[in-house]
Amino acid sequence: MRRIAAWTLLVVLGTGWSLPMGAQNTPAARNERQADKLAQKKQQALYKYQKKQEKAQEKAQRKMDKQQQKAAKKYEKEQRKALKNANLPVKHIS
């Protein structure tokens, strides 16, 4: 009698412990986890792509600014040279 009671108790406890594990490993739960991981990877890839785009845009902007500054310097130099030449006295050839 004691053996039957102990065996029944063991079976009940064993079954209770195995059910939650089986519920966690269902195909639906695995698919949901895989979908979450895939969505997270997709979001990270999008973030990296956006960062690369921002970096490239900043680099292009710096390059354009540098070219604009160089052109402005060249223009100012030409203006100073033209002003200097305009103020020089004219040489008379006799």
Task: With 0.75 as the threshold, say if the pTM is over it.
Answer: no
The yes-or-no verdict on residue 88 having pLDDT over 80 is no
Per-residue pLDDT tens digits for 29-80: 888 999 999 999 999 999 999 999 999 999 999 999 999 999 999 999 999 9
Per-residue pLDDT tens digits for 66-80: 999 999 999 999 999
Distances (CA, A) of 66 to 16, 60, 81, 86: 73, 10, 23, 30
